Amino acid sequence: MKRYLIFLLMWVFCFPVLAHSEEAWDRVQKTGELRWGGDAAGGAPYVFPDADQPDNLIGFEIDLVEALAKKLGVQAKFVSVQWDQLVPALLRDDFDAVFNGLEVTQDRLAAIDFSIPYYFFSEQITVRAENNAIRTFNDLHGKKVGTLSATLAHKILEDDGNITAVGYPSPVEAYRDLEIGRLDAVFMDVPIAAFYAAGNPKLKNLSDLAGEGIYAAGVRKDSPQLKMKINEALIQLIQSGELKEIYLKWNMWNEKQDKLADPKQWDVKRAHEKNPVMKFSKLLLLGAGMTLILSFLSMAIAVIVGSAICAGKLYGNFFVRAVCNVYVEVVRGTPLLIQLYLLYYGLPNLGIQLPAFAAAVLGLGFNYAAYEAEIYRAGLLSLPKGQEEAARSLGMTGWQAHRFVLVPQAVRTILPPSTNDFIALFKDTSLVSIITVMELTRAYTTAATTTYRFLELGLATAALYFLMSFPLSLWSRRMENQKHASVH
Amino acid sequence: MLPYIKIKNLGKSYGKNEIIRDLSLDINSGEVIVFKGPSGIGKSTLLRSLTYLEPFQKGSIEVGKYVLNANLDRRKERETIRAVRTQLGFVFQFFNLFPHLTVIENLTLAPIQVLRKSKEEALEDAQKLLKKVGLEEKANFHPEQLSGGQRQRVGIARALAMKPKAILFDEPTSSLDPEMKGEIVRAMSDLASEGMTMLIVTHEPAVVEGIASRIVSFGAGLEVLSDTAR
Ligand SMILES: Nc1ncnc2c1ncn2[C@@H]1O[C@H](COP(=O)(O)OP(=O)(O)OP(=O)(O)O)[C@@H](O)[C@H]1O
Ligand SMILES: [Mg+2]
């Protein structure tokens, strides 16, 4: 089985690369254009929109690549993709090289090649200004620490084992959650912390730096020529002092960067052999567990709130009916993603701060409540009018008529669509990854974007989802059959 | 003897459509009264007004010591309405049995929940009633497993289980095959001989005339065209 998987993997990954097996440098020369990849939304000071002129990108890497392209005698052309997709995009030949704070790691070395280092960085711990309890990396034990997903910093936190690491898509949200107290600390590369936290009076950067890594340009393994040319140009920039000038301009220069000129530091492979590799099977299983818990809790809320809304719509007075109608229409008419975002990132502006897990359960539950309410309403309305009349004429109260006569009959109609909704909710739990909950999809992206084993991990993740949802499908189908069997 | 049911100047409309114009009628205990008249004239509406399944706009209805007035407040008067409903059993043209319950459960549900009878007592009563309508073997069947005539006998037994003072029948035989009409009329005739007060709405009077003690025939606006004792 495993051999087949690897074969499939090779097919999927190597095929596009083989198709473009022309040496990248030849094409750069032919077209006079060096296409380089980065994430324009990944944050400062790497590549980011100029605040005064948002369609103009700036950053130390823009300066760096411009200078480098000049040395090579070509034009630099920037291509933006999401940060955790940079390596796959490079392998797909969306561009020739990556310059975007891409740390050299064991996992990445397995997939791509790196140039010589162009920056030595450490990890910066940032805490709230009034916090004196956290002074060193070890003080982070037992604490909730924010970082960027799939970065070296993320991995250092995960591997420690005693720290609750919370992965964010970009720095802004992480520093904001630190400010409002959702996090105890933020752990990110020094250049990021210098840009976002240094000027913020509510936060402070600790002097104790942790870890050490290097940024280098990523190139495909089939482009040794291009790699050589980039190395030559980088050496020229280092020796001429041009690179130092760029770092001075961006306030990034420190004595560590003296090592850039030392040829012994240029072999990035040796330098990073000791980087740890994450345990991904465990991560996936934990994610699957979280997905199950999220699904059941949210569905419980959806059933309870949905019943209440249904009762309000059917039997409430004018005001209650109007409120319920508006609720159902608004919830169904807006994307769940936006609702989750508002609940988690928006509510703190009103002074209401929900933990990520609570926001996820409430968001999913109250969203699906709107759909449940409509299913229940349709189920009750589909009953013959004579049923309620018979119950009433036997002297039952409205509550008794529902409890003993109407609801038990409606349940037969309600269960199949409601189960389908549950399966949909189950899959929609993947959306809560945007509010930092580590459920199965998030565990998958974390694992896959660090190891680039998209296919194997993707199949494993799909299998986990399927194993969890299939019993429900079977059950729903059985219910459907029973319903048809009992109605002649 | 005072009349058991007193209908006084009853008026009922659906929106602008006036169904009952001005109906006054007294019904004594023990009477078996047949209401006849063309289809769509408002006979069912009358029965449904008596148990307040339908609200009415004019006049009043007295059932024993309980009074239902036009345009009453359903919330305030809900105990009165429920008391009237427990006194007046209702048998429907299309049975309206509870399909998710067995025959015996159909009979015991309301006595247990509404009359607060113990389960044992309710079961005992229900078994007696099933025997009376000749269905003791069907106690654990579901309604869908019964014939139309059997279903209607369960419908009658369900109404009787509440120990009503009178039973309202809305077209009890109309949806049945001719041979099944007979079994229902026999059951009704047994009830009549026990002295049960019965109000029977039908557009096929020939079927039930044999057990009637009084026949009222209606015209448009539910005007009483004739009212004859037999
Ligand atoms: N819920 C309702 N809303 C509006 N109009 C109604 C409603 N129920 C009955 N009607 C109308 O009231 C009139 C009387 O109906 P009803 O069912 O009482 O007649 P009926 O004498 O029982 O006729 P049938 O012998 O066919 O059963 C009919 O014209 C009918 O269309
Ligand atoms: Mg009728």
**A99-148 residue pLDDT tens:** 999 988 888 888 899 999 999 988 999 999 999 999 999 999 999 999 98
Question: Is-contact A398 A472, C-beta < 8 A?
Answer: no
pLDDT attached to residue A446: 79
Distance CA B123, CA B211 (A): 30
Answer whether residue A3 is part of any domain: no
Pick from A83-87, A286-290, A299-303: least confident: A83-87
Question: Is-contact A97 A217, C-beta < 8 A?
Answer: yes
Contacts of B100 in chain A (CB under 8 A): 408-409, 412
Mean of pLDDT values over A313-319? 93
Q: Does the Cβ of B13 fall within 6 Å of ligand 1?
A: no
Question: Is-contact A112 A220, C-beta < 8 A?
Answer: yes
Answer whether residue A34 is part of any domain: yes
Nearest atom in ligand 1 to B41's CA? 21
pLDDT at A65 over 90: yes
Tell me, in angstroms, the distance from the centre of ligand 1 to residue B27's CA: 23
Omega cis (within 30) before A45: yes
Distance CA B155, CA B184 (A): 10
Please tell me whether residues A322 and A368 are part of one structural domain.
Answer: yes
pLDDT at A13 over 60: no
Q: Which of A390, A404, A409 is nearest residue B113 as measured by Cβ atoms?
A: A404
Host H or E run for residue A29: helix A24-31
CB environment B156-175: b (16+ within 10 A), e (fewer): bbbbbbbebbbbbbbbbbee
Best mutation site among B12, B18, B19 for ligand 1 pocket (most ligand atoms within 8 Å of CB): B19
Ligand with minimal distance to B17 CA: 1
Ligand with minimal distance to B36 CA: 1
The domain covering B5-229 belongs, at the CATH homologous superfamily level, to: P-loop containing nucleotide triphosphate hydrolases (3.40.50.300)
Q: What CATH number did the domain enclosing A135 receive?
A: 3.40.190.10
Please tell me whether residues A160 and A234 are part of one structural domain.
Answer: no
Contacts of B113 in chain A (CB under 8 A): 396, 400, 404
Nearest atom in ligand 1 to B218's CA? 21
Please tell me whether residues A339 and A462 are part of one structural domain.
Answer: yes
Please tell me whether residues A430 and A317 are part of one structural domain.
Answer: yes
DSSP A56: E
Task: Dig out the tokens for A265 from the structure.
Answer: 């530091």
Q: Does the Cβ of B98 fall within 6 Å of ligand 1?
A: no
Host H or E run for residue B13: strand B5-14
Please tell me whether residues A289 and A320 are part of one structural domain.
Answer: yes
Please tell me whether residues A347 and A455 are part of one structural domain.
Answer: yes
> Taking CB atoms and an 8 Å limit, are B82 and A386 in contact across chains?
no
Distance CA A167, CA A182 (A): 13
Contacts of B88 in chain A (CB under 8 A): 393
> Taking CB atoms and an 8 Å limit, are B109 and A394 in contact across chains?
yes
User: Count of A–B CB contacts within 8 Å?
Assistant: 58
Please tell me whether residues A200 and A308 are part of one structural domain.
Answer: no
Mean pLDDT of chain A: 88
Answer whether residue A11 is part of any domain: no
Answer whether residue A6 is part of any domain: no
In chain A, DSSP finds a helix count (H) and a strand count (E) of 20, 11
DSSP states of A93-151: TSSSEE-SS-B--HHHHHH-EEEEEEEEEEEEEEEETT--S--SGGGGTTSEEEEETTS
> Taking CB atoms and an 8 Å limit, are A389 and B94 in contact across chains?
no
pLDDT tens digits, B91-129: 999 999 999 999 999 999 999 999 999 999 999 999 999
pLDDT attached to residue A253: 87
Tell me, in angstroms, the distance from the centre of ligand 1 to residue A443's CA: 63
Residue with tokens 């039908």, as numbered in its chain: B202
In this structure, the strands spanning A185-189 and A144-148 are parallel
Question: Is-contact A425 A298, C-beta < 8 A?
Answer: yes
Domain boundary among A189, A212, A235: A212
Cα-Cα-Cα-Cα dihedral of A187, A189, A190, A195, to 10°? -90
pLDDT attached to residue A46: 92
Residue B166: pLDDT band (50, 70, 90) is: very high
Distance CA B205, CA B228 (A): 13
In this structure, the strands spanning B32-36 and B197-201 are parallel
Number of folded domains that form chain A: 3
DSSP-H helix ranges across B12-117: 43-50, 78-87, 103-113
Which residue, B83, B53, B62, is CA-closest to B10? B62
Mean of pLDDT values over B208-227? 92
Q: Does the Cβ of B138 fall within 6 Å of ligand 1?
A: no
pLDDT attached to residue B176: 86
Task: Dig out the tokens for B221 from the structure.
Answer: 């606006």
Q: Is A36 helix (H, G, I), strand (E, B) or coil?
A: strand
pLDDT attached to residue A4: 55
pLDDT attached to residue A19: 46
Question: Is-contact A68 A116, C-beta < 8 A?
Answer: no
Answer whether residue A446 is part of any domain: yes
Host H or E run for residue B22: strand B17-27
Task: Dig out the tokens for A74 from the structure.
Answer: 């070509």
Tell me, in angstroms, the distance from the centre of ligand 2 to residue B44's CA: 4
Answer whether residue A9 is part of any domain: no
Please tell me whether residues A247 and A339 are part of one structural domain.
Answer: no
pLDDT at A277 over 50: no
pLDDT attached to residue A274: 44
Question: Which chain B residue lies closest to A408 (C-alpha atoms)?
Answer: B100
Distance CA A141, CA A123 (A): 16
Please tell me whether residues A302 and A418 are part of one structural domain.
Answer: yes
Q: Does the Cβ of B43 fall within 6 Å of ligand 1?
A: yes
Interface test with A, best of B50, B113, B162 (most A CBs within 10 A): B113
> Taking CB atoms and an 8 Å limit, are A400 and B114 in contact across chains?
yes
The CA-atom distances, in angstroms, between A211 and each of A141, A165, A422, A474 are 16, 16, 44, 50
Partners of B217 in the β-ladder: B36, B226
Distance CA B72, CA B67 (A): 10
Chain B residues within 8 angstroms (CB to CB) of chain A: 51, 53, 78, 82-83, 85-86, 88-90, 92, 94, 96-100, 109-110, 113-115, 144, 158, 162
Q: Which long-range contacts (CB under 8 A, 24 or more apart) does A243-249 make?
A: A243/A64, A243/A67, A243/A118, A246/A60, A246/A63, A246/A64, A246/A67, A247/A60, A247/A119, A249/A60, A249/A63
Q: Which of B98, B115, B158 is nearest residue A405 as measured by Cβ atoms?
A: B98
pLDDT tens digits, A388-437: 999 999 999 999 999 999 999 999 889 889 999 999 999 999 999 888 88
Mean of pLDDT values over B155-169? 96
Question: Is-contact B159 B91, C-beta < 8 A?
Answer: yes
pLDDT attached to residue A17: 46
pLDDT attached to residue A18: 45
> Taking CB atoms and an 8 Å limit, are B109 and A395 in contact across chains?
no
Better-scored residue on pLDDT, A46 or A274: A46
Tell me, in angstroms, the distance from the centre of ligand 1 to residue B46's CA: 10
Partners of A80 in the β-ladder: A38
pLDDT attached to residue A77: 94
DSSP-H helix ranges across chain B: 43-50, 78-87, 103-113, 119-132, 148-160, 178-193, 205-208
Question: Which chain A residue lies closest to B47 (C-alpha atoms)?
Answer: A393
Q: Which long-range contacts (CB under 8 A, 24 or more apart) does B14-20 make?
A: B18/B221, B19/B45, B19/B221, B19/B222, B20/B45, B20/B46, B20/B49, B20/B56, B20/B221, B20/B222
Which range marks the domain in which residue A132 is found?
121-212
Please tell me whether residues A378 and A478 are part of one structural domain.
Answer: yes
Q: By alpha-carbon position, which residue is closest to atom 24 of ligand 1?
A: B39
Answer whether residue A10 is part of any domain: no
The CA-atom distances, in angstroms, between A235 and each of A242, B33, B88 are 10, 112, 102
pLDDT at A89 over 60: yes
pLDDT at A9 over 70: no
Which residue, B138, B139, B200, is CA-closest to B173? B200
pLDDT attached to residue A473: 85
Show me where the domains of chain B are located. 5-229
Pick from A277-286, A403-412, B55-64: least confident: A277-286
Better-scored residue on pLDDT, A339 or A267: A339
Single pTM value for the model: 0.77
pLDDT tens digits, A475-484: 888 877 776 6
Burial of residue A377, with CB atoms counted within 10 A of its CB: 0-12 exposed, 13-18 middle, 19 or more buried: buried
Contacts of B86 in chain A (CB under 8 A): 394-395
Task: Dig out the tokens for B50 from the structure.
Answer: 């008596």
Please tell me whether residues A292 and A408 are part of one structural domain.
Answer: yes
Mean pLDDT of chain B: 93
Q: Is A426 helix (H, G, I), strand (E, B) or coil?
A: helix
| pLDDT cut 70: percent of chain A above it | 92
Task: Dig out the tokens for A334 from the structure.
Answer: 């807006």
> Taking CB atoms and an 8 Å limit, are A386 and B86 in contact across chains?
no
Domain boundary among A174, A193, A212: A212
Which range has the top average pLDDT, A243-247, A444-448, B204-208? Answer: A243-247
